[in-house]
């Protein structure tokens, strides 16, 4: 599991770096809030919307080689994005990075399920913690490098993913030993698929993603608009995402004990007032509130991933791609509308609107 979690961390490091890079690229390329969120839209489409395609590919044939390739492509793409000389090339580099992310996640999630055994929620939490830590480190690492070395220093963002990709290439034969005999020859498991339950779950995940991606994009921008430096906004985003990593460690085992739906519903409901405090109160109280909100919202990632796989036991790769790809991507697409709100009405309204996501997710749960 350590290798899969490490690959997850390296892959999501690339995703997490986007928000911090946008703070520096905005004045460099003269971008509006709408154009900034469009960058996130491209990253979302390439990394999330196409994930089910990789999931279906994973279900029908062996694609373990996607583990090292996906990690390497994600890192190289985001590194090149940091030095993109134009908006069009920025979008292209972000799209390439996103394809690497999309290639890694379904295959890695499937192997994480095999390695986890019976305690799937707890095991998937260990897998997810890597992604959460990588996502959290992304803005911190990116902003630190750029502040010290300039945007060209962003090329160093490719180094960790490439190193991890080489390690994964060596350990892939070892991971293949965990593949069940049936899974190695067919996608069928003998259990019944429940697509209607999966559709409802994916709707919940989509609304959760609206809150998560909205805060991911706007925390640094909101802090800069209030007069704080770029470094402060990136550090707060790091703590927001790091709290999610801690929440994931707690949420998975807790769901194994008291139930997945209770953990999911309560986490979403409790995050709503915390977002209100962040926007309307601000200061130290607001910072603490948004950090706690990150812990609650992101804590449900591993839980909903396990639920999706249980609803589609005969199509684990597809279920994983839909849960951590397509549905999260839909939320990211919706979050782009917040960029238009920020340009037309004000950034405060846009940040406040992020609470709509977890509020609706709590009701649906």
pLDDT one-digit tens code per residue, 204-244: 988 898 888 889 888 888 888 888 877 788 889 889 988 98
pLDDT of residue 268: 94
pLDDT tens-digit map of 140-162? 899 889 989 998 999 999 999 99
Calculate the alpha carbon distances from 273 to 193, 246, 266 in Å. 36, 20, 12
The overall average pLDDT reported for the chain is 83
Find the domain containing 142 and state its range.
2-364
CATH code of the domain in which 37 resides? 1.20.1250.20
Mean pLDDT within 188-209:
82
User: How far apart (Å, rounded) are the C-alpha atoms in residues 332 and 17?
Assistant: 16
| DSSP tag of 96 | H
What pTM was computed for the model?
Answer: 0.69
More confident residue, 90 or 185: 90
**CA distance from start to end of the chain:** 30
Number of compact structural domains in the chain: 1
User: How far apart (Å, rounded) are the C-alpha atoms in residues 5 and 218?
Assistant: 27
* Least confident span in 21-25, 201-205, 299-303: 299-303
């Amino acid at each position: 599991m350590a290798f899969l979690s490490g690959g997850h961390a390296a892959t999501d490091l690339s995703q997490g770096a986007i928000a911090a890079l946008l703070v520096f690229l905005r004045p460099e390329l003269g971008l509006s809030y709408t154009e900034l969120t469009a960058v996130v839209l491209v990253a979302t489409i390439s990394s999330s919307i196409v994930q089910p395609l990789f999931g279906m590919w994973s279900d029908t044939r062996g694609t373990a080689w996607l583990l090292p390739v996906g990690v390497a492509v994600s890192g190289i793409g985001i590194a090149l994005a940091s030095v993109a000389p134009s908006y069009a090339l920025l979008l292209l580099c972000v799209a390439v990075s996103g394809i690497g992310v999309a290639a890694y996640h379904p295959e890695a999630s499937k192997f994480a399920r095999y390695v986890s055994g019976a305690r799937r929620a707890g095991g998937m939490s260990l897998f997810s913690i890597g992604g959460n830590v990588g996502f959290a480190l992304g803005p911190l690492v990116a902003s630190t490098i750029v502040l010290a070395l300039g945007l060209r220093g962003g090329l160093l963002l490719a180094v960790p993913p490439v190193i991890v990709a080489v390690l994964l290439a060596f350990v892939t034969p070892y991971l293949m030993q965990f593949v069940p005999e049936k899974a190695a020859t067919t996608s069928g498991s003998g259990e019944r698929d429940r697509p209607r339950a999966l559709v409802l779950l994916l709707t919940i995940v989509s609304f959760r993603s609206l809150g998560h991606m909205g805060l991911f994009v706007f925390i640094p921008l909101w802090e800069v608009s209030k007069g704080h430096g770029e470094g402060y906004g990136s550090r707060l985003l790091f703590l927001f995402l790091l709290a999610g990593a801690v929440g994931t460690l707690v949420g998975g085992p807790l769901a194994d004990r008291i139930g997945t739906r209770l953990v999911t519903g309560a986490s979403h409901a409790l995050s709503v007032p915390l977002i209100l405090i962040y926007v309307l109160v601000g200061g130290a109280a607001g910072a603490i509130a948004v950090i706690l909100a990150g812990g609650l919202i992101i804590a449900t990632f591993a839980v909903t991933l396990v639920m999706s796989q249980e609803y589609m036991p005969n199509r684990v790769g597809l279920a994983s791609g839909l849960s951590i790809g397509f549905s999260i991507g839909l939320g990211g697409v919706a979050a782009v509308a917040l960029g238009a709100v920020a340009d037309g009405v004000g950034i405060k309204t846009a940040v406040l609107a992020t609470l709509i996501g977890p509020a609706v997710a709590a009701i649906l749960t």
